[in-house]
C-alpha cells in the first residue's frame, strides 16, 4: 500500500482510539510501581518474590514481541488491539481477586501478554494512516500519551488504593479496559478509507527463524537492540517496581510524597518525548551522540544516588536525578528508527520486535537482580545501605549495555561507509571520525 499524502480527521480519530489502548497498557504496566508494598503484604512476599511479578510480566512482554509483529502482519492492528485490551482487562481483574502468589503471577502474565500487543499495533497504524514526514512526531506524541497512563498509575492509583482498597481499585481499572475493547473493535480501521488493505503475510513456521536471523544480522538492528537495552532500563526499573520502595523505605518519604516524586519520571517523559522526537526527525545524525550523552548523565545520576554521604539523599536532589534519568525513555525511541532505517520494509516489523526485546530484557534482568540482592541483605544492612547494594546491579547492567552499544555504533557506521563506497543510498549521512579506524571487539 502506498503512503498517504496527508492525515485526515478520520486518521486522527482512529489514532486517538488506538492510543488509549496504549495509555491503558502503560497504566497497567506500572501499577506495581506504587502497589508493590501492598502486594508484599497481600501475598506475604519478600523482595525477590515481589521482583518476580515484574520479571514475569516484562519477560512475557519481551517474548511476545516477534510473535506480535507476525500477528499484526497476519490479522491487522485492529484485531490485535482488541484482543490486547481484553487480555489486559482480564489480567487486572484476576489480579484484583487473586488471593495466592500463583494466581497473582498468572494474572500478571496475562497482563503482560496484552501489554505486548499494543505498541507495535499502534505504530503500524501510524505508519498506515499518516504520511512519512509525520511518523516520528506522531510516534513521539503516542509515547507521551502513554506516559500519562504511567502518571495515572502513581498519585491517583495511590489514592484509590488508600480509599477503596486493592480489590475495587484493580477491578475498576480492569473492567474499564476490557469494555474499551469494544470501542477499539468498532472504531479502529487498519487502512484509511479508499485504500485496500495489503494481503496478509502468512509466514510458515520454518521460515520464521531465518527471517529473524536476517534482521539480527544487520548492524543497525544490533545497534538498536543495545541502544534500547541501555537507555530504557534505568527509568523503567525505577518506575515499574523499585523506585517506590526505595523512596519509602530507604529515603523515608510518605507514600504520597513517593508517588509524587515518581510522577516526575512520567512528567519528564511526557514533556521530553515530542521534543526529542522532533529533534531526531529533523537531525537524524544526532540520534546516537545524544544517546551516548544521556548515558553519561545516567551514570552521573546513579553515582549521586549511590554515593551520597550518609545515604539519605535530599528530596530536591532525587527529583533532579529522576528528571535526568527519565529522558532515557524518549531517547530509547531511537531504536525503532534504526530498525526502520537499516532494514527493508518486509523485515521492519521483525527488526522492531527485536530491538524492543533489548529494552525489556534489560528491565527483566535488572528488576530480578535488584530483588535478589535485597533479599540477600535484608535484615543484615540498613534499608539505605541495602538499596545501595541492590541498585549497584543497575549500574552493572548499564555498563554492559553501554559497552555493547558503543561497539555496534562503530560497526553500524562502518556498514554505512561501506554502502556509500558501493554507491548505495544510505538513510543517514554521517562523517568519518578518527575513532572509526579503531578496532573494537
* First-last CA distance in the chain: 41
Angle between helices 77-97 and 118-129 (to 10 degrees): 150
Closest by Cα among 352, 240, 341, 363 to 287:
341
Report phi then psi at 381, rounded to 5: -130, 160
Q: Is 343 helix (H, G, I), strand (E, B) or coil?
A: coil
- Together in a domain, 158 and 59: yes
- Together in a domain, 275 and 362: yes
- Together in a domain, 92 and 130: yes
CA 32 – CA 115 distance, rounded (Å): 14
Quote the cell numbers at residue 141. 506524541
Mean pLDDT within 29-37? 76
Closest by Cα among 140, 121, 106 to 21:
121
- Together in a domain, 402 and 266: yes
Q: Is the pLDDT of residue 427 over 80?
A: no
Q: Is 378 helix (H, G, I), strand (E, B) or coil?
A: strand
Query: Which pLDDT belongs to residue 198?
Result: 61
Query: Which pLDDT belongs to residue 180?
Result: 95
Q: Are 184 and 25 in contact (CB under 8 A)?
A: no
Give the pLDDT confidence of 246-272 residue by residue, as tens digits: 898 888 888 888 878 887 877 888 888
Quote the cell numbers at residue 240. 515499574
- Together in a domain, 357 and 290: yes
- Together in a domain, 360 and 242: yes
Determine whether 20 is exposed, middle or buried from the number of CB atoms within 10 Å of its CB (0-12, 13-18, 19+): buried
Residue 52 domain-assigned (yes or no): yes
The Cα angle at residue 229 between residues 142 and 387, in degrees rounded to 5: 105
Give the pLDDT confidence of 348-380 residue by residue, as tens digits: 777 888 888 898 889 888 888 888 898 888 778
Angle between helices 101-116 and 32-43 (to 10 degrees): 160
Residue 202 domain-assigned (yes or no): no
Residue 198 domain-assigned (yes or no): no
Mean pLDDT within 163-175? 89
Which of 133-147, 150-164, 213-227 has the highest mean predicted lDDT (pLDDT)? 213-227
- Together in a domain, 305 and 358: yes
Helices (H), 308-437: 315-326, 328-331, 334-341, 348-377, 383-421
Closest by Cα among 239, 218, 228 to 119:
228
- Together in a domain, 18 and 142: yes
Closest by Cα among 120, 121, 127, 357 to 227:
357
With the C-alpha atoms ordered 369, 258, 385, 380, is the resulting torsion angle positive or negative?
Answer: negative
Considering its fold, how many domains does the chain have in total? Answer: 2
Angle between helices 47-63 and 101-116 (to 10 degrees): 30
Residue 441 domain-assigned (yes or no): no
Q: Is the pLDDT of residue 175 over 80?
A: yes
Query: Which pLDDT belongs to residue 203?
Result: 62
Which of 66-75, 198-207, 214-223 has the highest mean predicted lDDT (pLDDT)? 214-223
- Together in a domain, 135 and 227: no
Q: Is 7 helix (H, G, I), strand (E, B) or coil?
A: coil
- Together in a domain, 155 and 234: no
CA 304 – CA 117 distance, rounded (Å): 37
- Together in a domain, 221 and 324: yes
Place of cell 503475510: 201
Domain C-terminal end among 160, 193, 226? 193
* Confidence bin at 196 (pLDDT 50/70/90): low
With the C-alpha atoms ordered 158, 163, 164, 167, is the resulting torsion angle positive or negative?
Answer: positive
Distances (CA, A) of 120 to 19, 126, 145, 193, 207: 11, 10, 15, 21, 21
Quote the cell numbers at residue 216. 539480527
Q: Is the pLDDT of residue 17 over 60?
A: yes
- Together in a domain, 298 and 365: yes
Which residues span the domain enclosing 316? Answer: 216-436
Q: Are 39 and 338 in contact (CB under 8 A)?
A: no
Query: Which pLDDT belongs to residue 114?
Result: 94
Mean pLDDT within 298-313? 90
Residue 305 domain-assigned (yes or no): yes
CA 176 – CA 76 distance, rounded (Å): 23
Give the pLDDT confidence of 266-297 residue by residue, as tens digits: 788 888 888 887 788 788 888 899 999 999 99
- CATH number, domain of 339, equals 1.20.1250.20
CA 196 – CA 215 distance, rounded (Å): 27
Amino acid at each position: 500500500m502506498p503512503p498517504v499524502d496527508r492525515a485526515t480527521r478520520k486518521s486522527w480519530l482512529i489514532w486517538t482510539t488506538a492510543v488509549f489502548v496504549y495509555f491503558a497498557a502503560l497504566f497497567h504496566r506500572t501499577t506495581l510501581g506504587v502497589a508493590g508494598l501492598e502486594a508484599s503484604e497481600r501475598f506475604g512476599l519478600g523482595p525477590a518474590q515481589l521482583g518476580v511479578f515484574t520479571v514475569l510480566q516484562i519477560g512475557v512482554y519481551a517474548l511476545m514481541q516477534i510473535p506480535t509483529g507476525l500477528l499484526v502482519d497476519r490479522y491487522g492492528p485492529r484485531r490485535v488491539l482488541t484482543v490486547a485490551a481484553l487480555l489486559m482487562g482480564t489480567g487486572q481483574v484476576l489480579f484484583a481477586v487473586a488471593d495466592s502468589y500463583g494466581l497473582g503471577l498468572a494474572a500478571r502474565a496475562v497482563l503482560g501478554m496484552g501489554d505486548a500487543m499494543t505498541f507495535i499495533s499502534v505504530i503500524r497504524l501510524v505508519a498506515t494512516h499518516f504520511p512519512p514526514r509525520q511518523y516520528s512526531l506522531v510516534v513521539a506524541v503516542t509515547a507521551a500519551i502513554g506516559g500519562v497512563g504511567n502518571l495515572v498509575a502513581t498519585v491517583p492509583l495511590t489514592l484509590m488504593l488508600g480509599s477503596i482498597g486493592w480489590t475495587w481499585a484493580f477491578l475498576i481499572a480492569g473492567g474499564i479496559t476490557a469494555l474499551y475493547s469494544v470501542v477499539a473493535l468498532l472504531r479502529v480501521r487498519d487502512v484509511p478509507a479508499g485504500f485496500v488493505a495489503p494481503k496478509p503475510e502468512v509466514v510458515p513456521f520454518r521460515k520464521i527463524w531465518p527471517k529473524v536471523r536476517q534482521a539480527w544480522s544487520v548492524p543497525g538492528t544490533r545497534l538498536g537492540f543495545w541502544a534500547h537495552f541501555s537507555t530504557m532500563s534505568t527509568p523503567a526499573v525505577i518506575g515499574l517496581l523499585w523506585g517506590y520502595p526505595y523512596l519509602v523505605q530507604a529515603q523515608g518519604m510518605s507514600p504520597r510524597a513517593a508517588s509524587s516524586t515518581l510522577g516526575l519520571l512520567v512528567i519528564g517523559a511526557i514533556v521530553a518525548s515530542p521534543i526529542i522526537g522532533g529533534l531526531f526527525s529533523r537531525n537524524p545524525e544526532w540520534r546516537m551522540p545524544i544517546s551516548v550523552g544521556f548515558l553519561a548523565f545516567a551514570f552521573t545520576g546513579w553515582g549521586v544516588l549511590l554515593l551520597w554521604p550518609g545515604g539519605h539523599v535530599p528530596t530536591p536532589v532525587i527529583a533532579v536525578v529522576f528528571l535526568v534519568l527519565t529522558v532515557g525513555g524518549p531517547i530509547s525511541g531511537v531504536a525503532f528508527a534504526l530498525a526502520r532505517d537499516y532494514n527493508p520494509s518486509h523485515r521492519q516489523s521483525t527488526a522492531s520486535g527485536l530491538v524492543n526485546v533489548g529494552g525489556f530484557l534489560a528491565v527483566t534482568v535488572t528488576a530480578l537482580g535488584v530483588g535478589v540482592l535485597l533479599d540477600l541483605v535484608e535484615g543484615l544492612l540498613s534499608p539505605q545501605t541495602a538499596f545501595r547494594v541492590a541498585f549497584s546491579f543497575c549500574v552493572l547492567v548499564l555498563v554492559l549495555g553501554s559497552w555493547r552499544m558503543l561497539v555496534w555504533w562503530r560497526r553500524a557506521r562502518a556498514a554505512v561507509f561501506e554502502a556509500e563506497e558501493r554507491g548505495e543510498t544510505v538513510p543517514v549521512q554521517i562523517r568519518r571520525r578518527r575513532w572509526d579506524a579503531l578496532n573494537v571487539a
